[in-house]
């Protein structure tokens, strides 16, 4: 039942919670993530605009994580 997904990225089904670097869903992403605003690496979560923010900046800017844990 294992098939190669040659077209896993569909332009019609762009998911905003995919990592912009490796295109993996956030829970599976192993990239080094840091806040785009302050470059902190503490409690980084992907937000709806596709960028990573730390908790302090998310709170300050009102961003909501898109994670589905
Ligand atoms: Zn990644
Ligand atoms: Zn930050």
Q: What is the distance in A from the centroid of ligand 2 to the CA of 53?
A: 5
Q: What is the distance in A from the centroid of ligand 2 to the CA of 59?
A: 9
Task: Calculate mean pLDDT across residues 2-14.
Answer: 53
Q: What is the distance in A from the centroid of ligand 2 to the CA of 14?
A: 25
pTM of the predicted protein model? 0.58
- How far apart (Å, rounded) are the C-alpha atoms in residues 33 and 53? 9
Q: What is the distance in A from the centroid of ligand 1 to the CA of 69?
A: 16
End-to-end CA distance of the chain: 27
Task: Please provide the average confidence, as pLDDT, over all residues in the chain.
Answer: 79
Task: Calculate mean pLDDT across residues 37-55.
Answer: 90
pLDDT at 10: 47
User: Confidence class of residue 38 from pLDDT cuts 50, 70 and 90?
Assistant: very high
pLDDT at 3: 64
- How far apart (Å, rounded) are the C-alpha atoms in residues 34 and 11? 26
Q: What is the distance in A from the centroid of ligand 2 to the CA of 25?
A: 21
């Amino acid at each position: 039942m294992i098939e190669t997904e040659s077209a896993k990225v569909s332009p019609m089904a762009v998911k905003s919670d995919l990592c912009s670097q490796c295109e993996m869903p956030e829970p599976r992403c192993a990239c080094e993530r840091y806040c785009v605003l302050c470059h902190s690496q503490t409690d980084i979560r992907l937000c709806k605009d596709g960028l990573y923010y730390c908790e302090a900046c998310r709170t300050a800017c009102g961003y909501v994580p898109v994670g589905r844990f």
